[in-house]
Amino acid sequence: MTQHFPTRQLRFFLTAPNPCPYLPGRLERKVFAHLPLTDGPTVNDGLTQVGFRRSQNIAYRPACESCRACVSARACAREYVFSRSERKVINRNEDLERHLVEAEATMEQFDLLRRYLNARHAEGGMADMTWPDYVAMVEDTAVRTHMIEYRRKSEDRGPGDLIACVLVDVLADGLSLVYSFYEPDMPKRSLGSFVILDHIVQACLTNLPYVYLGYWVPGSDKMAYKARFSPLEILKPGGWALMSARDRAAGAPEPEGG
């Protein structure tokens, strides 16, 4: 079903070409629009349905001239059957406490983010993120959003150690994982996968059908992992459809609208 939203409020812009952060040797361009202060959640819902992602008060999607590698992906929460390895990931993290908090930046979160970026994405576009940048990422928005903090159980009356965080938008039909980060020196916990799996559980508990994962990018070590989650829907020229074995083998189909 097509979702209608007030496009008259939006003006779309195109970025200049920049080096692609996912595929070496390629250039990326994005089309973007500023989300309105009024009707922001409704507009964000509608744009997400056609492949946009949110960053602060900007919605964007790839608009590269000679590449269609980035494909929007969402996990089907209601039909999801956890594999044996996924159940192990959940069990390895059952000692963590889950806290839903307001979308307000804290220095504790920022310190964790800095450790994560330095260890995992030292050469990435966010490597030089400052405290004001982080505050803007978390707090500068007019949509329905919150933070999830994963903490060790406290041994006293204070909060337990912060292990992972994720910024989450609440959409009409699902949860959109805007950005997640976690303690980089705990590889056995598989925290990146755990955050996704936990939100599939939370979507089911709140009767939401989807968890939006951003872009699947075959050939990119950073983004190709999303194809491991199944059932997974991807945005094809005709709309959202289940990812098939052929999709996984052949790579991404052209997204709708280029």
Average pLDDT, consecutive stretches of 10 residues, N- to C-terminus, the chain (258 residues): 53 92 91 90 93 94 90 96 96 96 97 93 79 95 94 84 97 96 95 97 96 92 87 94 81 42
Taken in order of first residue, the domains within the chain and their CATH numbers are: 74-258 (3.40.630.30)
Separation of alpha carbons 85 and 141, rounded Å: 36
Instruction: Give residue 1's pLDDT.
Output: 39
Cite the beta strand spans of the chain per DSSP E.
12-14, 18-19, 27-28, 30-34, 53-55, 58-62, 71-76, 96-101, 145-152, 162-171, 174-182, 210-216, 232-236, 239-242
Instruction: Give residue 131's pLDDT.
Output: 97
Instruction: Give residue 82's pLDDT.
Output: 96
Instruction: Give residue 6's pLDDT.
Output: 52
Quote the Cα angle for 123-175-159, to 5°.
Answer: 70
Instruction: Give residue 257's pLDDT.
Output: 35
Instruction: Give residue 156's pLDDT.
Output: 77
State the virtual CA torsion across 152, 184, 196, 206 in degrees, nearest 10. Answer: 30
Q: What tens digit of pLDDT does each residue of 96-114 get?
A: 999 999 999 999 999 999 9
Spatial CA neighbour of 223 closest among 2, 19, 23, 6: 23
